[in-house]
Amino acid sequence: MPTILYNTNSSLIPKYRRSNTSIPYKGLLSKKGHTRLRSKPSNNVYEENTNHTKCFSGDVPFQSEFEKDSVEYLQELCRSVYPSSLHQRIRNLEDLSDLQINAFAALIFKNFIKSWYGVKIPTNDSKFLTELYNMIQDLVQYMKSSRIDYSSLLLDYIPCLLSSHLTALEDCAQTPDLVYEQYCQLTLYDSKRYPSLFIDIIQSKFNTKSLLQRSFVDSFLNGLVFGHILDSIMEPYYFLDGLNRICMNVKLSSATNIKENYAYGKIKCGPWWFVSIKQKISRAAKLISYSTSIRLPNLDTSIIPEIPFLQRYIFTFIITDFFKLSMRKPFLFSVCMMFQYCISKSKSLNKVMYNIFANTVKAKITSPMTIGNLFLSLRHSLFPNDNTMGPPKVIPIGNDFLKFREECICNLWHVCITYKLDKIFAIKKSDIADLVVSLSKNKECNKLLLYRIIDCIAAQLP
């Protein structure tokens, strides 16, 4: 019976459905998005396959007397989704990063689980949501307690994957239908390997015999997380849009610096002089602190890796694979190789560089604040009002996408000119264009790259 009821497409569902289930469910799209979808026909696959998610009323913002994204606000948001038996446990959660993760998971459960559990499956049992809450807490604690070798992951494995990814995309044919097949052949990876590999690993960690729970986890990960969500965020447009935004910020920052330098040239002892000196002292103090202290348990002072820091693959990727200095700037390439050899001989310098790397990773990548901000951004993007999922972003296609790609190329080229990268590394605008075109060739290739990166991370876990 649970197996039959779990399948929401089963013809037996009407037999067990309550009489009031004919009332339309408040779906995942906002009123504005639903009006846009209803006003004109569309051939979008997402719209065709998610008719049950269309909204029949406004997306009412979540109401709370507390400030948005505060600890109290997030606790109240989680309590509005989970049963009362979990409310005391949620009140005991005071870590902001944990609450950001739980708030995001709660909204996922609200939109994708409570829409059928208790509606299509008539039940008042709260045990299922309790088990899901426990599953999230176990996953968070497992990730916190797991030690990952970030030096190998960030300095060797991921740069190697990026190198093979860019090389394969450059060698693939321009025919869209053949790109992914050739990419799999060039990278020697079977697309059928993923995401079933990750689902099996996660299922093994739960160690449950419940058929309903295993079926849910399999459908949740395979259909939603690795299917719909990952398929959407790996659109080349999003990557180019992010790259374009970074370039725009760099252009704005460079324009601001020019104005500050002009003002500083006019007023030698003005406030800009004091601010500039203060910033330089702060950066120097941070660099000294990073180089003399160890904050990452994976890189203890007594366990500095034997491989010299400058001989990790990331520098080969930057110098040889990405900038191709051996062909463009042979003399500069020789200088870099000589510098790499000399520095690698000094154990003290290697220790300092590993310390700086370890503390940078701890402060910028693995800190609870960074992880919390990531889930905060995801929640604001997917659930603007902390209620239902917002309308999907319109992705330009055809000539509109080509114009956007050309804009991205121009902005990236402007950044290269601003920082004199075109003269230092002999980069041409055609090289920038080739890189952007390669990155936007095929969504499935980018998706397979992400799978391979997740595979590397999973291999680091106990």
pLDDT score of 16:
44
The confidence band for 54, taking pLDDT boundaries of 50, 70 and 90, is very low
209 or 303, greater pLDDT: 209
What's the pLDDT score for residue 147?
Answer: 80
CB count in 10 Å sphere of residue 361: 20
Q: How far is CA 453 from CA 156, 159, 166, 447, in A?
A: 12, 10, 14, 10
- Reply yes or no on whether the pLDDT at 5 is more than 60: no
**pLDDT for res 256:** 66
Question: Which pTM value belongs to this model?
Answer: 0.72
Q: Which amino acid is at 175?
A: T
Structure token digits, residue 156:
């060797």
Residue 312 has pLDDT above 90, yes or no: yes
How far is Cα 414 from Cα 419, in angstroms, rounded to an integer? 9
What is d(CA 77, CA 108) in angstroms, rounded to the nearest whole number?
12
Identify residue 332 by its one-letter amino acid code: L
Percent of the chain residues past pLDDT 90, beyond the cut:
21
Question: Is residue 297 over pLDDT 50?
Answer: no
pLDDT at residue number 128: 80
What 8-state DSSP symbol labels residue 395?
Answer: P
pLDDT surpasses 50 at 460: yes
Q: Which of the four pLDDT bands, split at 50, 70 and 90, describes residue 76?
A: very high
Task: Calculate mean pLDDT across residues 352-366.
Answer: 83
CA distances in angstroms from 157 to 360, 364, 425, listed in the order given: 18, 19, 25
Helices (H), ranges, 28-92 = 31-39, 45-49, 71-79, 87-91
Query: Does 327 score more than 70 pLDDT?
Result: yes
For the segment 81-100, the average pLDDT, to the nearest whole number, is 90
What's the alpha-carbon Rg for the chain, to the nearest Å? Answer: 26
Average pLDDT over residues 156-168: 93
Residue among 166, 170, 165 nearest 188 (CA): 165
Of 101-105, 140-144, 347-351, highest mean pLDDT = 101-105
Mean pLDDT over 274-283 rounds to 58
Does the pLDDT at position 195 exceed 70?
A: yes
Is there a contact between 31 and 59 (Cβ–Cβ < 8 Å)? Answer: yes
Contact between 6 and 216 under an 8 Å Cβ cutoff? The reply is yes
Mean pLDDT of 223-250: 84
User: Any idea which of 146-155, 243-252, 385-394 has the lowest mean pLDDT?
Assistant: 385-394
What is the spatial distance between Cα 434 and Cα 430, in angstroms, rounded to a whole number? 6
Q: What is the pLDDT at residue 77?
A: 92
**pLDDT value at residue 24:** 39
pLDDT of amino acid 213: 72
Structural domain boundaries of the chain?
A: 71-144, 150-196+234-252+304-460
| Least confident stretch, 249-253, 289-293, 297-301 | 297-301
User: Does residue 96 surpass a pLDDT of 50?
Assistant: yes
- For residue 62, give the DSSP letter: P
Q: Is the pLDDT of residue 198 over 70?
A: yes
Which of 112-126, 390-404, 413-427 has the weakest average pLDDT? 112-126
User: Of the candidates 108, 101, 102, which has an alpha carbon nearest to the alpha carbon of residue 28?
Assistant: 108
Reply yes or no on whether the pLDDT at 207 is more than 80. Answer: no
Mean pLDDT of the chain: 77
Nearest to 213 by CA among 135, 114, 138, 136: 135
Task: Give CA angle at 394 (387, 396), nearest 5°.
Answer: 160
Distance in angstroms (rounded) separating the CA atoms of residues 402 and 410 = 12
Helix, coil or strand: residue 117 = strand
**pLDDT, tens digit, 9 for 90 and up, residues 412-421:** 999 999 888 8
Is the pLDDT assigned to residue 163 strictly greater than 90? yes
- Average pLDDT over every residue of 450-456: 89
pLDDT for 257 beyond 80: no
Cα–Cα distance, 124 to 114 (Å, whole number): 11
More confident residue, 141 or 22: 141
Q: Is the pLDDT of residue 38 over 80?
A: no
| Bridge partners of residue 121, in order along the sequence | 117
